[in-house]
Chains A and B, each alone.
Chain A
Amino acid sequence: MFKPLQPVSGAAKVILGIAFFVLFVGAWSIATFGGHVPPTFLADPATMVREAINLFVEFNFAYDIAITVWRVVGGFVLAAIVALPLGILMGTYKAVEAFLEPFVSFARYLPASAFIPLLILWAGIGETQKLLVIFIGSVFQIILMVAVTVGSVRRDLVEAAYTLGARDSGIIRRVLIPASAPDIAEILRLVLGWAWTYVIVAELIGSSSGIGHMIVDSQALLNTGQIIFGIIVIGCIGLVSDFLFKAANRRLFPWSLA
Chain B
Amino acid sequence: MSKLVIDGVNRIFPGVRGAVPTEALKPTSLEVQDNDFITILGPSGCGKSTLLRIVAGLDRPTAGRVLLDGEPVLAPGPERGMVFQSYTLFPWLTVQQNICFGLREKGVPPARQQEIAAHYVGRVGLRGFEHHYPKMLSGGMQQRTAIARALANDPKILLLDEPFGALDNQTRSLMQELLLGIWEQDRKTVLFVTHDIEEAIFMANRVVVMTARPGRIKCDLAIDLPHPRHYTIKTSPEFSAYKARLTEEIRVESLKVT
Q: Interface residues, chain A, CB within 8 Å of chain B?
A: 154, 156-157, 159-167, 170, 174-175, 178-179, 181, 253-256, 258
Contact = CB atoms under 8 A, between A and B. Distances in A.
Contact of A174 (B81, B88, B101, B135): B101
B88 A165 contact: no
Nearest to A178: B92
B80 A163 contact: yes
Interface in B100-118: 101-102, 105-106
B58 A163 contact: yes
A178 B101 CA distance: 13
Interface of B: 56-58, 75-78, 80-82, 84, 86, 88, 90-93, 101-102, 105-106, 133-136, 146, 149-150, 153, 159
A163 B146 CA distance: 12
A224 to B, nearest CB: 50
B76 A255 contact: no
Contacts of A162: 57-58, 75-77
Question: Which of A156, A170, A175, A254 has the largest number of chain B CB atoms within 10 A?
Answer: A156
A179 B88 CA distance: 12
Contact of A175 (B75, B81, B90, B136): B90
A231 to B, nearest CB: 40
Given A159-B76, A163-B76, A253-B92, A258 B149 contact: no
Contacts of B92: 178-179, 181, 253, 255-256
Nearest to B159: A163
30 contacts: A154-B88, A156-B86, A157-B88, A159-B58, A159-B76, A159-B82, A160-B82, A160-B84, A160-B88, A160-B90, A161-B101, A162-B75, A162-B76, A163-B56, A163-B58, A163-B77, A163-B81, A163-B159, A164-B78, A164-B149, A165-B78, A165-B102, A166-B102, A166-B105, A174-B105, A179-B90, A255-B91, A255-B133, A255-B135, A256-B91
**Most chain A beta-carbon neighbours within 10 Å: one of B90, B93, B150:** B90
B133 A163 contact: no
A179 B136 CA distance: 17
- The residue among B57, B80, B102 with the most chain A CB atoms within 10 A of its own CB is B102
Nearest to A181: B92
Contact of A254 (B57, B58, B133): B133
A128 B105 CA distance: 44
A105 B78 CA distance: 39
| Among A159, A178, A256, A258, residue most surrounded by chain B Cβ atoms (within 10 Å) | A159
Given A156-B86, A178-B90, A163 B78 contact: yes
B114 to A, nearest CB: 17
Nearest to B152: A164
B90 A165 contact: no
A154 B86 CA distance: 11
Contacts of A167: 105
B54 to A, nearest CB: 13
Contacts of A156: 84, 86, 88
B135 A163 contact: no
A258 B137 CA distance: 11
A178 B97 CA distance: 13
Contacts of B106: 165
Contacts of B86: 156
A149 to B, nearest CB: 14
Contact of B90 (A157, A254, A258): A157
Given A154-B88, A165-B77, A178-B92, 13 more contacts: A159-B82, A160-B84, A161-B90, A163-B76, A163-B80, A163-B82, A163-B150, A163-B159, A164-B153, A179-B91, A253-B92, A258-B133, A258-B136
Contacts of A256: 91-92
Contacts of A160: 82, 84, 88, 90, 146
